[in-house]
Every structure is written in C-alpha cells, then in structure tokens.
A and B are shown apart, each in its own frame.
Chain A
Amino acid sequence: MTRTTPRLRHALNGAGLVVILVIAGVVAHTTPSREQQEAAIPVHGEVGETVEGRNIRATVNDVRIAESVEASNGWAGPTSGVWVVVDASVEARVTDLATLGYARIKVGDVTYSASTRPDQATIAETGLSVGIPWTGPLMFELPLPLVSSDPARHAELQFAVSNDPRADSMLVMPVDLQAIDIDAVIETDEPVWGAR
C-alpha cells in the first residue's frame, strides 16, 4: 500500500519551501518599524507659500534674526544667543480640536521649540480655529554660533497640531539662516485672529 514519493515531488516541495522562506525574509526586512509607522507625515513647502496638512494650514511670511526681541506685550527676552523670529499665519482645516503645539526649527541634528516665554505675544501653543488664521510671531532662541554654521543653511521650520505629530501631517519649510542678517533688536506685532 505504501508508495514511494517521486524525487520530483521532493524537489518541488523543497523549491516551494525556499520560495516561501525568501518571501518571508523580504517581507520581514521591508516591513516598516513601529517608529516608521508612527512617524509624522512631512508636507514640504516654501517660506512665503501656503502649506496644508491634514488639519493645519500655515504660511510663513518672514524669518528674521535679532540679538534681542521686544514683544508686543512688553516682554523682552534676554539671551546670550540670538532670536529667530518667524512671522506666520496658522489655522486648522477640519476641526478646532487643535493647537499649534509643535512649532520647531531644526538645525542639523538639533531641534528647538518655539519659546513660550513671551506668553500671549506669540502664537506658540495657540488654539487653532478652522478657517480663521492666527497671525503673529514665533520666537526661537538659538546659540549664536549655530546660525552661522553650515547646517544653518539647511534649517527646517516644522509645524504640526498638538505637541505629538506622530501619524499626522507635519509642515516642513526650509530656511537658510546664514543668509539672514542679524538685527540688533526686533519688535514683534501682536498676534491677530482673523484675516490680516
């Protein structure tokens, strides 16, 4: 009753097993890691143009650098470095359950958050309205040597709703900090709600 399995069948079974193992290996090695799966989704744009993500729309109108800042509420932040002042308009697109919780500038491998020290004189961490922009300054405190370093030529502004942009849009706009003259002092405008 027993039958001898033909050699050809053995060979086919072996080949099938090898194919399955190869496919499994390719899948295992190309599957995105958890970090990659949860990473923010970058939306690239330029300074001066309106950039849109899932629930955020922003326009960076100007980028300036100064040794000191006089904010609209009278705050003046002393620093041993410099202030990078970003004038921007930011709004939500879909729902106002959103804040500008992620406003950062990346220079090389180092990332700086927009300062909240000026309190209401900046739009950092402002609650966003749907279709009604907040326009005002964001202030980043950077070491002086950094803005004249090579990585400063390829700095990036990064905006996202909430302070955790994972798995959501992150607006990314390149800026050449080296090309910007450093002023002695910058006076910033009061944040304005609505079209300016």
Chain B
Amino acid sequence: MKRWLRRNWIGLIAVAVLLPATVGITFATQWTSYFSGRDSAPVSVAENTDFGFSTAEWRFVGSERISSESSEGQRIGLPAETALVVVTVRITPDGSPESPGCLVRLEELDRGADSRSWAESTYDPIDYSPTDGTQTYCPTDTTEPYVLESTFVVPADAVDGLGLSIVVPGELPQYLSFRL
C-alpha cells in the first residue's frame, strides 16, 4: 500500500485539489448567476435621506397605515382584519434622458425565510384614490422631481418590521430598502 501511495502521490494530490475545486467553481458559478439576476443585495436607506441610486436621488418621505376598523378604512372598503399601508418616496431624476423605472413591493424584513411580501394594491378591489400630484409608478419619461405613492393591503397582523423595496431592473442585484 505504501509503495502504491509513493508511486501515485502526485496524481492523488491532483485529485484532492482538483475535485473540490471543480465542485466549488461549478456551484459558485451557478449561485453567482442566480443571485446576480434577482434582488438579492438590499441597500438600506434611512428615512428623509437623499440617496443616489441609478440615475436619480431617492428619499423615503414616510408612511401611513389605515386600519380596516377605522372610518377611513371602511370608506375605502378594506376587507376585515386588514390595513392599507401608504408609502411615499420622493424621486429626483439627475437629468438623464431617461428616468429609472421601478418595481415596488412591501416586505417583512425580520422574519427570515418566513418573510411575506405584497405587491401594490393596484388591482385590489378597494376604493382608494391616490393623493393629488403623486405618481403610482415610476415614469421613465420625466426629468422633473416627483412623489411616488405606493399602497399595499396587508393583513392586520403585518405590523412590525415592514420595509419598502424598490427594484430598478438595471441595477440588480442591488435594490433600495426603506424600513417603515
């Protein structure tokens, strides 16, 4: 056995090095492409702070929560045991010919793998009218500052650790994350 090991030690060391390296490189390539194509790298931004991202400055202005039990919630027609979360972001394009488009979601930041997320309530059967002068999406054909107002219908138990995520497709895997 010792003779065999002595005779083949170079090959054995090569296998011991190359086999794990091959597996590692294969996995690394797969994971890198997986994560680079999705919103996997949050950039946390504090409230009322201008933050340069893509071709605009982004400022999380604030949020409001309307309970389904409140008179406003009943007027809107929120379902029982829910709340409407209204998030306001001020966006100042930097003058580039095209402003960044965006995809907005509300998500739970502190629940790990059990984190829930919600799309905007655009198609939900409620009777909420956006505040005058605000946008409900990120227009790409403007160079003027504007205010984005996003609304989400969430269950009443979604209270703590909510965050707004804003994905600018060209900036993936990075995305903006504002803690409410």
Contact = CB atoms under 8 A, between A and B. Distances in A.
B111 to A, nearest CB: 10
B91 interface: no
12 contacts: A96-B119, A97-B119, A127-B123, A130-B116, A130-B154, A131-B154, A132-B154, A192-B79, A194-B79, A195-B79, A195-B80, A196-B80
A148 to B, nearest CB: 39
Contacts of B118: 96, 129-130
Contact of A131 (B80, B116, B119, B125): B116
B82 interface: yes
A131 B123 contact: no
A192 B78 CA distance: 11
Interface residues of B, number: 20
Contacts of B117: 94-96, 130
A5 to B, nearest CB: 12
Nearest to A127: B123
A193 B158 CA distance: 17
B82 A94 contact: no
B1 to A, nearest CB: 11
Nearest to A55: B116
| Interface residues of chain B: helix, strand, loop or mixed (majority) | loop
A130 B125 contact: no
Interface residues of A, number: 15
A194 B116 CA distance: 17
A136 to B, nearest CB: 13
Given A131-B157, A195-B81, 5 more contacts: A95-B117, A96-B119, A132-B82, A132-B153, A194-B68
Interface string A85-104: 00000000111110000000
| Interface residues of chain A: helix, strand, loop or mixed (majority) | loop
A92 B110 CA distance: 19
A127 B10 CA distance: 61
B40 interface: no
B119 A194 contact: no
A82 to B, nearest CB: 31
Contacts of A95: 116-117
Interface string B141-173: 000000000000111011000000000000000
Contacts of A194: 68, 78-82
Contacts of B114: 94
Interface in A114-138: 127, 129-132
Interface string A125-156: 00101111000000000000000000000000
A70 to B, nearest CB: 23
A127 B123 CA distance: 10
Interface in A63-119: 93-97
Interface in A176-196: 192-196
B36 interface: no
A34 B154 CA distance: 38
A195 to B, nearest CB: 4
Contacts of A132: 79, 82, 153-155
Contacts of B157: 131
A193 B68 CA distance: 13
B115 interface: yes
Contacts of A94: 114-117
Contact of A193 (B79, B115, B116, B119): B79
Contacts of A196: 80
A12 B28 CA distance: 39
